[in-house]
Amino acid sequence: MLRSRLLHRFAFADFGEGSVIVRPRVLRGVDRIHIGSGCAINQGAWLQVEDGGGPLVLGDEVYLGHDVHLHSLDPVTIGDRAFLVDGVYVGAADHGRGDRRSVTRTGPITIGADVFIGQRAVILGGVTIGEGATIGAHAVVTRDVAPGQVVAGVPARPIPQEGSS
């Protein structure tokens, strides 16, 4: 961990104590990426902030599973203790329709504290996910998710919980 911190603390906007990145696939725009303390970023991570975009902010103790892809032109904020498992895509940018090489804004993304995002879920721009929410595996989140809510499906919809009406 010490080596990871020494390698990254000067490149990133912030790189918190005890955080580690294991063999990332892509790191772009790192001067606009803020990583809190105690974060675990696993192999194959793709963290990209487009020119003129960002920031991309990870709170403390954020877990990014293997092959998580975070793409920011608009701001992306991930709260403390959020848990994004393998293959999750969070995108506050899109490719232009006329020129596929151009990148367009899709709206900021805010993921609250203690959120769990299941395998290969997709979080699209302009979305806020409230604290303690759960996103099911393979869900595509196109609109806001309330705090503590459980959503799943394509597009993601609330899942009734036992004991709720």
List residues with catalytic annotation.
Answer: 95
CB 80 within 8 A of CB 114: yes
And the tokens for 72? 């920011």
CA–CA gap between residue 155 and residue 82 (Å, rounded): 21
Q: In the Cβ-directed half-sphere of 141, how many Cα atoms lie within 13 Å?
A: 35
And the tokens for 120? 């290969």
CA–CA gap between residue 24 and residue 75 (Å, rounded): 21
